Amino acid sequence: MAAILGSVLRRLAVAAVAAGGAAVATAGARYVGSKRINAAERLGEALLDSQQLNVAAGYTEDESEAALAACTAYLINVAHQSAAGIAGPPAVDSVGFERKVKARKGAGQASVITTAPEPEPRWQFEMDAPGVARVSGSRRLLSSKFSGPRVNMRTPDTVSIRFENGYVASIESDLEFTSNLIQVTGPRTQVHGTANVSDNRGNVGRLRIDAGGGVTGTVTRGANIVGRFEGNLGAGITFRQYSPGAA
């Protein structure tokens, strides 16, 4: 393998996963009085948080491995935001219903179509961030368990992110969420699982999130490791880029 000549640190914002602090102070009240959340609407809202896609767009030309890492962070945020705070079985639209969600700021819009009913609903989705990228993919609620304030859900996703300059990132994730909605310290929703990532520039990677929120993984191009995922969801993910040289 080629020698590693240097590295660059990229801080990936996964702020949603670190949600806690003052937000958890009213968790119990929200649990007691919360209404049934619509799964498609929550997914559409999460898709519209496209900050990491703006970051990725800046790297697609010359640092594609960093673009792929930022796209991975985007998907982790989407998965977490669409699950966080759910206090019971989510409401599922009828099969074939298309739910559209518009961004509160900007021109972004998401569309989520329910394609299979409960107990294992499925959705097809698209999100357009004008001038940046178009996201499309599918999601399954493969399993769910609700016991009082404790929630467990598994939601595999398959996602394609196409940028206006032709860069394309593909992500397949299998993430599981565990929540205690009346927890008063630390994040209420914890996530663990894996994601396989690739792009049309020859980058291929795998990321793993353990039960404690620790993140590990690599991105390779050919025979070389061009970057590593490090850190913890609570404190944030770091992507360390490597510059391979001659052996």
- DSSP code of residue 202: S
DSSP per-residue codes, 139-200: EE--EEEEETTEEEEEEEEEEEEEETTS-EEEEEEEEEEEEETT--SS-SEEEEEEEEEEET
42-74 tens-digit pLDDT: 999 999 999 899 999 999 999 999 999 999 999
pLDDT surpassing 90 at residue 202:
yes
d(CA 222, CA 137): 27
Map out the domains of the chain with their CATH numbers: 20-244 (2.40.160)
Helices (H), the chain: 27-33, 39-47, 51-57, 64-83
Question: Bridge partners of 180?
Answer: 150
pLDDT (tens digit per residue) in 147-183: 666 778 889 999 999 999 999 999 999 998 887 655 5
Ramachandran angles phi, psi of 213, nearest 5°:
90, 0
Distance (Å, rounded) from C-alpha 221 to C-alpha 123?
32
% of residues, the chain, pLDDT over 90: 53
**Amino acid at position 149, single letter:** P
pTM: 0.83
Q: How far apart are CA 8 and CA 122, in angstroms?
A: 39
Q: What does the mean pLDDT of the chain come to?
A: 81
Sign of CA dihedral 20, 14, 87, 193: negative
